[in-house]
Chain A
Amino acid sequence: MATAGSTTGADAHGALRQRKSKPSEPGREPVEQFFQDKPKTVIGEYYRDEDDISLDTVEKYVVPMLFTILSFVTRMYRIGISDIVTWDEAHFGKFGSHYLKREFYFDVHPPLGKMLVGLSGYLCGYNGSFEFKSGDHYPEDVNYTFMRIFNATFGALCVPVAYYTAKSLKFSTLATWLVTLMVLCENSYATISRFILLDSMLMLFTFTSFLGLAKFHEWRRHPFTSGWWFWLTFTGVNIGCVTSVKWVGMLTTALVGIYTIHDLWDKFGDLKMPVVTYAKHWISRIVCLIILPLTIYLACFKIHFLILENSGPGDAQMSSLFQANLRNSDLTKGPLDVAIGSKFTLKNMGYGGGLLHSHVQTFPEGSEQQQVTCYHHKDSNNEWVFYPIRGSPEYDPNDSEIRFIESGDAIRLIHENTGRNLHSHVMPAPITKDQNEVSCYGNLTVGDDKDNWIIEIVSDTAHSDNRVHTLTSSLRFRHQVLGCYLRAANVNLPPWGFKQVEVTCDKTNNPRDRFTHWNVEMHVNPRLPQGDAKAYKSPFLRDFVHLNVAMMTSNNALVPDPDKRDELASRPWQWPVLNVGLRMCGWSNDIVKYYLLGNPFVVWGSTASVAMLAIVTFVYLCRWQRKYVDMTPDEVSHFIYSGLYPALGWGLHYFPFILMARVTYVHHYLPALYFAIMTFGFLFDFGTRKLSWWARYLAYLLAYAAVIGVFALYSPISFGIIGNHENYDYLNWLSTWTI
């Protein structure tokens, strides 16, 4: 690596020793002449300054333009040739349709990306009627090409962003070009950007967040100037957007967070900084990097709720009050008061709660009686009927007297479809072993007093009498014999329970535990007058939290079946070594086929660079500990912010997937790959900085040629394989690739 500039100047280095590899000692403000000037003029070379300024100016405008044009070409070339619903277009296209039809749906991802998909449909006059079934042909009236172009624009814009980011990271011009070229010629980016998916948006906002960070770092010597404020705000807006597209955006946010803490920590050590200034730094970060992104995230959900004003397939995930406020909801007609003989569904009021459910399948363990679960979809198995307990007068539908249910009444809940009683007994619940199992047992006549439940009204948002009301009453169900409370707390059952939510009877009496609160949602009783539920509003923040908890619960339930071979899913270790690709559609000869696979040179090179950077850092650290001086403080700073931070970004966007239990796919690596590419650029730059000019040019030329060459070789998988896939067998460099 670098030749050792080795004067063992112990004194000069004493200060550095104390503060590991951070060049910013108090009173040590390394005079980075470089940054003293206005940042705009420092775009030039770091290691090489023989270049002509006017040439640089030309480069500054012409090259990014050229790259942008190429980027639009590679992302949009032949974009409309495949007229079938490809890969997850089936999901995201459908969600976009829901916005156009304004029907409430539920999905694990936040709404921004899907709203943009909806916008693209709106712009091309699509009416939302297409179902987006995987593999179907698009009908005439869906201008899918426009929708794809809309998406591809996001993907195309990634390239200039990469260019400016590399500039801000003080890469040499040659390295900047290399990095930009690698993003441009990355097959997986070019492929995934061409479809109606969220990934191109996720990538763009990830890239822009990092651009904001790099620019902000460039401006750090000029705090509170307009440029400084601009880039800080820019970063905040973009982390807000990236998190509103997919939750993986949190990883980008984490990178920004770590940088910010590091930065504030350095400033804390600056004894010359007045406390007020320091406080201003804190406040500016809190406003721009916490409050602003959060507001954007909230705003996305607000718009989401405003657009989706009709009842739709996702209703059941939300609270009953929210549903009642959707247009065409069937909840609005339920009679106000609940009586013996009423047919109803019962909604758990905890965040993410579902409907009390039972089905003929039995517990495979414990009592082996009929299962009782919480279920998030509407289904006739959610319906229950209030019956009087045994020993009290039987329910007679023709009896003129209507027995309303009041707080403190003992009743039975009969499952409408199977006729069994909601029941509990001293038997550990299947998962939460310290609580009692709840099952369905017996029938109208067979049973015991363990079928009896006592209704307690915890609160009522609209009424103050003692009666149980539809929607507004929060109820608890106390088991008459055991004294435990009916509870469901988002614990998923194993496959035998169809991953539905476990229902238990909790022995602890905690009136504030919302998972023990239930409300009557749908209510049918022909003998009672219809009510009007529109009168009660559901507060936005509650709906927001509710929806987010529901998203998290569903996301956690996306666990792959260990027995099932899933050809599409892949394991995180396979991504950096490019062990696996992804067929994005069917593989028959008559359709255009797309294969999601990274540019092997880019992926392998970037992975190697991350490993190499770790080794280089380790060697430098050891030499530093042995008191060698290899770098000036400026160089150390460049090493940290332009080398280690991208590598950290890679780690933050990669390792969390290893810990995730949910099913993972190749495209989850795409944001991490960008940071690996930046690391590659840095290391290439760093490694070639001391070479003679011709050797450097040669090295870069070879790298450019390799990137472009491999991209060209693999371009069929991005632009679409037409005809027999066997003609492309030569692309299967590894036996695990399935082109």
Chain B
Amino acid sequence: MASTSTKFSTLPAKDKAAILSITGLAVLVRLYKIWQPSSVVFDEVHFGGFASKYIKGRYFMDVHPPLAKLLITLAGYLAGYDGDFDFKDIGKDYIEAGVPYVAMRLLPATLGVLVIPLSFLTLKAYGCTSLTSSLGALLVLFENALTTQSRFILLDSPLVFFTALTAYAWANFQNQPAFRSSWYWYLFLTGLSLGATVSVKWVGLFTIAWVGVTTVTGLWHLLGDLSVSPKQYVKHFFWRAVFLIGVPVIFYMLMFGIHFICLVNPGDGDGFMSSEFQATLNNKKMVDTPADVAFGSHITIRHLNTQGGYLHSHDHLYPTGSKQQQITLYPHKDDNNLWLVENATEVDVDMRALPPVYLRDGDVIRLQHVSTNRRLHSHDLRPPVTEADWQNEVSAYGYKGFAGDANDNFRIEILESKSKPGKAQEYVRAIETKFRLVHTITGCVLFSHKVKLPSWAYEQQEVTCAKQGTLPNSIWYIEYNEHPTLPADAEKVNYPKVGFFKKFAELQSVMWETNAGLIASHTWDSRPEAWPYLRRGINFWVRDHKQVYLIGNIFIWWLSTAGLVIYALFKIVTILRWQRGYKDYSLPSVQAFDSTVGTNFVAWALHYFPFYLMKRQLFLHHYLPALYFAILGVVIAWDLFCKKVLRHRAIITAATIGILAIAVYTFVMLSPLAYAEPWTKYQCENAKLMKHWDFDCNVFPTDLSKYDSSHIANVSSVDGSVVEASSTATSSFQSAKDTIGEALPPRDEL
């Protein structure tokens, strides 16, 4: 194996020419008609939308880290995009709205093109010949799924690019003599690209796992090398830690730093964050509020755990249960969030006129809704949505002048461990004191959870009184506080300032929870066991009798999967033989095969098997990084096969051309689905190589000539093809329904 690095500048002229011509071809193939289709495709709904929000600076929540979205935004911004388009539905037109979508699509497309020379250089670093390296690059180039995915405003092309960059740098690092400048450079590049990969999607953690596993085995072998002194060993260890842990962590955090700098205004992602976090956004900053809360104060009460908002009531009744006035949790500031604190034993005294009597732990209060004069009330009826017997309904009950009844009484229980140490653990203080509200008669505790009420309550969050609710969902605090007789110079409080690290940590945990919560199944999702044999694709876009459908080049997929199976068999046989005392591993070619092919197949396994543990919805494109490594592995195996078995140049060339020809043929056959090109129903049916491939051939006319004639209207309609973007935080937060395309037939009449 070459102990030099495979950089473009140090390659022989022949290789340079190969790279340049393959890259040129890639530009043609990958960018061909990139403006087509000229409307929103699949998850451009989300990622285009995020670009708009970055430009407007509106805070949003997404389960993916920011790097790729920032790059897409940058591309759009440089092309003059103003962020006014909302990317709301698949199929929404770009041209009329004047969105520079081509520039935005060019970013993933360019990165997709760059993967191709990178794969060439990586294969060279593994010691492949120029011919097989070219073959590998061309297989990556003519892969339909990689092509389709890189043509739209999606994150997977940047992800594959940074994964490929890591593979390139890491392969070269292995070839460098220790502690030379090139050794440091490739180690640094590996760390940097790892940081970039994980800053695109968390799937980058699998790439980190791969580099981690290979580093640990490398260090283990180094430990067994007695010529390496302990001091040198520590040095090896130290620099790896710096570059492979330190650099990615810093890069990752830097991306979030930029993310926070860009998003300064409130937006639809606020609801995911804590109040302290929200208070850092423009317009959401709160004016200081008096600290001490007294009987007679007007207050707003906020739920701590769900970020669901303020205890709210409005002049509408429950259609179920008691049919009394609704109590909900409402995320925005509103006059209906305002409550008057009354002393349960002295309801008829106007406390607002008297000097303030401060609220203490254990006080029994009644809360009167200021705008409707009804009081917070609970009784032994089931809540409207959660029909559990350990939860009671909470309503607003009474009228002006009514003194209320004992079911209005709630006792304040301060939670010392959650409240600010000092006075706030004894007296109820705005923001600083966290407390529970215990219904004195039934003993249940005011509770709210992430359950939405139906449309009669405007889909606001349900509030109940729970006897066995979890503690975090039972905690409340006071945000706004006003009392007329408080002195003007009374102590004021506000949310504590949140620094970058706290915001960063909070966002990570919210992303994690949201990601884990994406478990609803999706029309086009698939499970990992279906990926290696390409069982099914994803419908990206259907319109005007054209279609975009994500499907791989089945020849290349099966070839790579076959390579994996062959390697697994090889490994099993050699291990069995080794246990029986055979010395296969003393042969250099077996060692080379095992280490170079092996490392790529380990990378495949680490990018593939963890998906089995994930319960969230998964898609075919999650397989793409694994596919890249599988292609590298099978090409390296092919290279060794050529060198050891085929040997003759003519045979090797012929075989290589043969493989390539089949790959290109398959690519061309399926390409109309990648480019949204005109197709006929007949051609479409013929391209359905597997019975589970469910692109809809009824979309296409029987004859190409119909595309330029008025007959087009006669072609059967697009029935039953549901095009739907994948769920992300935003879509699931707003409404699950608004991304279903118009192809969905209307609901039954009822």
Name the distance in Å between B484's Cβ and chain A's nearest Cβ.
39
In the complex, the answer to whether A626 meets B580 with C-beta atoms within 8 Å is no
Bound form: Cα–Cα A26–B582 in Å: 12
Q: Is B3 interfacial (CB-CB < 8 Å)?
A: no
| Interface contact A625-B224, CB-CB below 8 Å | yes
Report the nearest A residue to B221, measured CB to CB.
A625
Residue pair B388, A564 in contact (C-beta under 8 Å)? yes
Which of B205-213, B435-443, B464-472 is the interface stretch? B464-472
Which of A31-39, A428-436, A663-671 touches B? Answer: A428-436
Shortest beta-carbon distance from A543 to chain B in Å: 30
Q: Is A268 an interface residue (CB 8 A)?
A: yes
Assess the B390–A367 pair: CB atoms within 8 A: no
Complex: how many Å from CA A622 to CA B220?
8
Per-residue CB contact flags for chain A residues 610-635 toward chain B (1 = under 8 Å, else 0) read 00000000000010011100000000
Q: Complex: how many Å from CA A423 to CA B449?
A: 33
Stretch at the interface among B74-82, B188-196, B742-750: B742-750
The answer, yes or no, to whether A558 is at the interface (CB within 8 Å) is no
Residues from chain B with Cβ under 8 Å of A428 in the complex: 523, 722
A265 at the interface (CB under 8 A from B): yes
B282 is an interface residue with CB less than 8 A from chain A: no
Determine if B599 is an interface residue (Cβ-Cβ < 8 Å).
Answer: no
Q: Are B748 and A564 in contact (CB under 8 A)?
A: no
8 Å CB interface, A176-235 against B = none
Closest to B473 in A: A563
Instruction: Give the complex CA separation of A367 and B748 in angstroms.
Output: 7
0 or 1 for each of B216-235: is its CB under 8 Å from A? (1 = yes): 00001001101000000000
**CB of A696 closer than 8 Å to a CB of B:** no
Is B9's beta carbon under 8 Å from chain A? Answer: no
- Which residues does chain A contribute within 8 Å of B580, judged by CB atoms? 268-269, 271
Which chain A positions have C-beta within 8 A of B736?
A: 365
B521 & A269 in contact (Cβ 8 Å cutoff): no
Distance in angstroms from A266 CB to nearest chain B CB is 9
Chain A residues near B523 (CB, 8 Å)? Answer: 428, 433-434
A626-B579 in contact (CB<8A): no
Instruction: Select B579's contact among A17, A265, A364, beta carbons within 8 Å.
Output: A265
**Chain A 366-381 near chain B by CB (<8 Å), digits 1 or 0:** 0101000000000000
Q: Does B12 contact A (CB under 8 A)?
A: no
Q: Is the CB of B747 within 8 A of A367?
A: yes
| CB <8 Å contact, A625 and B469 | no
Given contact pairs A563-B466, A563-B470, A565-B468, A369 touches B750 in the complex (Cβ within 8 A): yes
B522 at the interface (CB under 8 A from A): yes
A427 within 8 A of B: yes
Residue pair B223, A427 in contact (C-beta under 8 Å): no
Contact flags (1/0) for A569-610 with B, using CB distance below 8 Å? 000000000000000000000000000000000000000000
Closest to B224 in A: A625
- Contact A565-B471, Cβ < 8 Å, known A265-B579, A626-B223, A627-B226: yes
Query: With A268-B580, A365-B736, A431-B521 known to touch, is A625 a contact of B220 (CB < 8 Å)?
Result: yes
Cβ contacts under 8 Å, B522 to chain A: 433
CB <8 Å contact, A564 and B579: no
A99 vs B473: C-alpha distance when bound (angstroms): 44
Hey, which chain B residues are within 8 Å of A271, CB to CB?
580-581
Q: How far apart are A97's CB and chain B's nearest CB, in angstroms?
A: 26
Of A17, A434, A562, A563, which is in contact with the most chain B CB atoms at under 10 Å from its CB? A563
Are B223 and A625 closer than 8 Å at their CB atoms? yes
| Contact mask for chain A residues 690-701; partner B; CB cutoff 8 A; 1 contact, 0 none | 000000000000
B720 within 8 A of A: yes
Interface string of A413-456 (1 = CB under 8 A from B): 00000000001011110011110000001000000101000000
Q: Check A269 against B579 for contact (C-beta < 8 Å).
A: yes
CB distance from A485 to the nearest CB of B (A): 17
Query: How many residues of A are counted as interface, with CB atoms below 8 angstroms from the partner's CB atoms?
Result: 35
> In the docked arrangement, what's the CA distance between A427 and B720, Å?
10
B740: min CB distance to chain A, Å: 9
Once the chains bind, are A450 and B748 in contact (CB under 8 Å)? yes
Q: Are A564 and B469 in contact (CB under 8 A)?
A: yes
**With a CB–CB cut-off of 8 A, which chain A residues contact B386?**
495, 563
- Tell me, rounded to whole Å, the shortest Cβ–Cβ distance linking B614 to chain A: 13
Complex interface: chain B residues within 8 A of A565 (CB): 468-471
Which residue of chain B has the shortest Cβ distance to A268 in the bound complex? B579
Within 8 A of A (CB), among B443-476: 447, 449, 454, 466, 468-471, 473
The answer to whether the Cβ of A566 comes within 8 Å of any Cβ in the partner chain is: yes
Docked complex Cα distance between A271 and B473 (Å): 65
When distances are taken between beta carbons in the complex, the residues of chain A under 8 Å from B744 are 426
Task: Check B581–A26 contact: CB distance below 8 A.
Answer: yes
Q: Hey, which chain A residues are within 8 Å of B722, CB to CB?
A: 428
> Which of these, A432, A563, A627, contacts B449 with CB under 8 Å?
A563
In the complex, residue of chain B having the shortest beta-carbon distance to the beta carbon of A267 = B579
Cα A622 to Cα B449 with chains together (Å): 51
Q: A26-B581, A367-B748 are in contact. Are A626 and B470 (CB under 8 A)?
A: no
Interface residues of B in 697-750 (CB under 8 A from A): 720, 722, 736, 744-745, 747-748, 750
User: With a CB–CB cut-off of 8 A, which chain B residues contact A564?
Assistant: 388, 390, 466, 468-470
Alpha-carbon separation in the docked complex, A268 to B466 (Å): 62
User: Would you give the 0/1 interface string for A288-329, flagging 1 where the beta carbon is closer than 8 Å to chain B?
Assistant: 000000000000000000000000000000000000000000
In the assembled complex, how far is the CB of residue A90 from the closest CB belonging to chain B, in whole angstroms? 18
Q: In the assembled complex, how far is the CB of residue B159 from the closest CB belonging to chain A, in whole angstroms?
A: 25
A507 to chain B: closest residue by CB: B720
Min distance, Cβ A570 to any Cβ of chain B, angstroms: 14
In the complex, what's the smallest C-beta–C-beta distance from B516 to chain A, in angstroms? 12
Q: Is the CB of B226 within 8 A of A626?
A: yes
Question: Could you list some 7 contacts between A and B, CB below 8 A?
Answer: A17-B224, A269-B581, A271-B581, A431-B520, A433-B522, A450-B748, A622-B223
| Other A-B pairs beyond A427-B747, A428-B523, A563-B447, 14, CB < 8 Å | A269-B581, A271-B580, A364-B454, A365-B736, A367-B750, A426-B720, A426-B744, A431-B520, A431-B521, A561-B388, A564-B388, A564-B390, A626-B226, A627-B224
| Interface of B toward A, CB cutoff 8 Å | 220, 223-224, 226, 385-386, 388, 390, 447, 449, 454, 466, 468-471, 473, 520-523, 525, 576, 579-581, 720, 722, 736, 744-745, 747-748, 750
* Closest 7 pairs (CB-CB, A-B): A269-B579, A433-B521, A625-B224, A563-B449, A625-B223, A565-B470, A565-B468
